[in-house]
């Protein structure tokens, strides 16, 4: 079991680190020194928390499928539990709430 878990944990960690910094590196001229506390707060607290929310959202999505499938709302559930936290974690510029 630990052989399977270690590569997965390493892969997820690297993906979140690289994906989380890509938007911040795309537009460095928009950041100023007065934005440094905001950027630090985002990078050190909000991004890791939203990454955790994305990972925790997966089992909640799976658990919700039997209840939302009859109504045809699987994509809404996917958006709420996985896509919205992932978008907040990965695609939003650093320091932009």
pLDDT tens for 85-94 read 999 999 988 8
Residue 92, Cβ density class (10 Å: 0-12 exposed, 13-18 middle, ≥19 buried): middle
* Pairwise CA distance, residues 81 & 62, whole Å: 9
Query: Whole-structure pTM over 0.85, yes or no?
Result: no
pLDDT, tens digit (0-9, with 9 covering 90-100), for 48-84:
999 999 999 999 999 999 999 999 999 999 999 999 9
Q: What residue ranges do the domains of the chain occupy?
A: 2-90
Q: Are 79 and 24 in contact (CB under 8 A)?
A: no
Helix/strand/coil percent split, the chain, to 5: 85, 0, 15
pLDDT at 39 (0 to 100): 87
pLDDT at 64 (0 to 100): 96
72: tokens are 């045809």
């Amino acid at each position: 079991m630990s052989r399977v878990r270690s590569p997965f944990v390493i892969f997820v960690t690297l993906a979140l680190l690289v994906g989380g910094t890509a938007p911040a590196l795309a537009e460095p001229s928009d950041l100023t020194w007065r934005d440094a506390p905001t950027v630090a707060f985002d990078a050190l607290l909000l991004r890791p928390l939203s990454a955790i929310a994305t990972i925790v959202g997966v089992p909640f999505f799976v658990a919700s499928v039997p209840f939302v499938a009859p109504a045809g709302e699987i994509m809404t559930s996917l958006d709420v539990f996985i896509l919205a936290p992932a978008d907040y974690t990965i695609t939003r510029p650093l320091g932009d709430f």
